[in-house]
Structure 1
C-alpha cells in the first residue's frame, strides 16, 4: 500500500497527537462494556436494599481498568504477531501510527492490572474474599483474550466469552458485593446485557472480517460470512429485547424497564449502517453505534431499577 493511502487512513480516522494518543489506546467506545454492567448490577442491588458508594466506585474503576488493559494487550499482541499495520482500522494505532514503544503499552497494561488488584483487595475486605478468585480468573481471561498461544478473540468463542465475563460476571459481582448474595434473578437480568456486549465484539469482527480471514482467524463472522453475520447480530439484539420483555412480564424487572425499548432505533441503526458499509472505514459508524446501543440500553435499564426503588 502506498504511503498516501496510509496518510488517508489516519486522516479518515481523525487521529490527533498528544493526549488523544493515550485516549485512543483505551478504545473508549468499548468502555461501555465495563461501565454498564457495574451500573446495572449496583442499581439492581439498590432497588432491593441500600448501596455502598465506595464499593460501587471501586468496582467501576477496577472494571474499566481491566477492560482498558485488555484493549492494550490486544494492541500489543496484534502488533507482535504482525497483524496490525498503519492502515489497520479499529485499533488505537498508538504503536503502528504514533510510534509508542510496544513494551510501553505492555507495561501500562500490567500497571492497570496492578491498580485493579489493589482495588480488588479493598472490595474483598469489604465483602468477601471469594471475589479475589473470580477477579483473578477474569483478569486471566482478559489476558488470554488476545494473548497466549490461541487467543480467544481469534476463535468463534470471542462473543460468548466477552458477553459472559463483561456482562454476567461483572453484574453478578457488582450485585454480590452490595447484597452479600447472588440470586437467580440477578443472573437472568444479566443475559440481555451479555448479548449487547457480545454484540460489540460481533460488530468488531464484522468490520474486520476480510482482514481477519487473511490472518487465519476463525471468528463467527468469518464462519458465517458477512450477510449472515449481520443477521446474527440483528438476532442478538432481538433476543436481548425479547428476554427483557419476558423478565418484565415475569416480574423480575419492573414495568419501568420498558423504557429500555427506547434504544431499539439505535440498535436498528447499527444493522442499517452495516448493510450499507463495504470497507472497514465505512463500517466504523456501525461499530460506534453498537457501543452507543449498549450504553443507551444499559443506562435506561439501570435508571428503571433506580426509579423502581422510589416508586
Structure 2
C-alpha cells in the first residue's frame, strides 16, 4: 500500500503553481477593472488546483499502463513504479476531476456565466485526453498547444470574466505570458524525457523539435513572457516590476542551454513553476500599485 507521502508525490505538487498563476493574474485584471470578487477567485483557484491534480493522476495512470514510465528519470510515478494499483490511481484522477466539476459549477452559478459550462467540460476532457484514451494528443505533440490554451487564456480570462463580466488588454496579455511559462515548464519536462519518450513512440513537441531546438524554445518562451508586458507598460508602468524575474530566469535557462543530462533538468521544473508564480504575483502587485 502506498504511503501518504507517495500519493502526495504522485500529485506532483511542483506543478501546482502553474494552476494558481493564471487565477492570480485573472483576479488582478478584474481588480484593475474595479470588479474584484474574492469568493469567485477562491472558487476559480479550487477548480484550477483540482484540475491540475486530476490531470497529474490521469497522466500517471495512462502512462503507467502503457509502459511509458517503466524507465523514468524524475519524481515517483505511482503506476509505473508499481506501488499503487492502476485502478486506484484512475479513481483518484476521477475524484479530483469530479470535485473540480462541482467547484466549477458553483462558480458558474454565482457568476451566471453559463457558457463557461462548455469550457469546463472541455477542460475536463482535455485533462483526460492528454495521455488517456486510444489517441492521446500528448503523444502526438499537441500537449504544448493544449497546455498553453487551458493554462493561459482559458484559466486567466475565465477567472477575469467570472468576476468582471468582461476582459481587458492586461488580462489578455497576462494570459498569454503565463501560458508561455506553463509551456516552458512542460518543454523542460519533455526534454528530460526525450530518450524514453522516443523509445515508446511518444512524439511530444520536444521529440519532434529535437533536443537542441527544444531547449532553445524554453528560453525563447520565457523571454517572450516578459517582453509582452512592454505593451502594457505605457499605461501601467508598474508592470515593469516583472523584469525583476530576469535574474531568476538565468539559471534554468543556462541549465537548458548547456545540455545538462536528464537528472540535472529536474530542478528546472520547480524553478519554472516558481517563475510562473512570481510572474503572477508581480503582475498583481503592479495592478494594485497602478490603482493607488
TM norm structure 2? 0.93
Which residue number corresponds to residue 216 of structure 2? Answer: 231
Corresponding residue for residue 273 of structure 1 = 255
Aligned with 2:159 (options 162, 174, 183):
174
Query: Which runs of no fewer than 5 residues in structure 2 stay unpaired?
Result: none
For the 8 Å contact 2:65–2:80, the answer to whether it is kept is no
Aligned to 1:140: 125
Cα deviation code 1:138-176 (max 9, x no counterpart): 111111111122222222222121011111100011000
**1:262 aligns to what?**
244
Structure 1 residues without counterparts, runs of 5 or longer: 1-16
**Contact 1:33–1:167 (8 Å) recurs in 2:** no
Q: CA deviation at 1:277?
A: 5.3
Which stretch shows the higher mean deviation, 189-198 or 277-286?
A: 277-286
Match of 2:177 among 192, 215, 239: 192
Tell me the C-alpha RMSD between the 2 structures: 1.7
Q: For 1:264-303, list aligned pairs within 5 A.
A: 264-276=246-258, 278-303=260-285
1:28 Cα offset (Å)? 0.8
For 2:122 and 2:209, the matched residues in 1 are separated by 30
Q: Distance in 1 between matches of 2:274 and 2:259?
A: 18
CA distance in 2, matches of 1:219, 1:121: 32
SS at match of 1:248: coil
2:107 matches 1:123: yes
Give the match's secondary structure for 1:233.
helix
Cα deviations by residue, 1:158-214 (Å, 9 ceiling, x for unpaired) = 212101111110001100010112345522331111111111111111111111111
C-alpha distance in structure 2 between counterparts of 1:88 and 1:181, whole Å: 44
The structure 1 segments of at least 4 consecutive aligned residues displaced by more than 4 Å after TM superposition are none
2:139 maps to 154
Tell me which residue corresponds to 2:206. Answer: 221
Kept in 2, the 8 Å contact 1:40–1:302? The answer is yes
Does 157-166 or 171-180 show the bigger shift?
A: 157-166
Q: In structure 1, how many angstroms separate the alpha carbons of the residues matched to 2:133 and 2:3?
A: 31
Equivalent residue, structure 2, for 1:5: none
Give the length in aligned residue pairs: 290
C-alpha distance in structure 1 between counterparts of 2:167 and 2:141, whole Å = 29
Structure 1 residue 275 displacement after superposition:
3.5
Which residue of structure 2 aligns with residue 3 of structure 1? none
The equivalent residue for 1:57 is: 42
Q: Deviations over 1:95-154 (max 9, x none)?
A: 333611111111111111111111112111111211211111111111111112222222
Matched, 1:89 2:73: yes
The answer to whether 1:32 aligns with 2:36 is: no
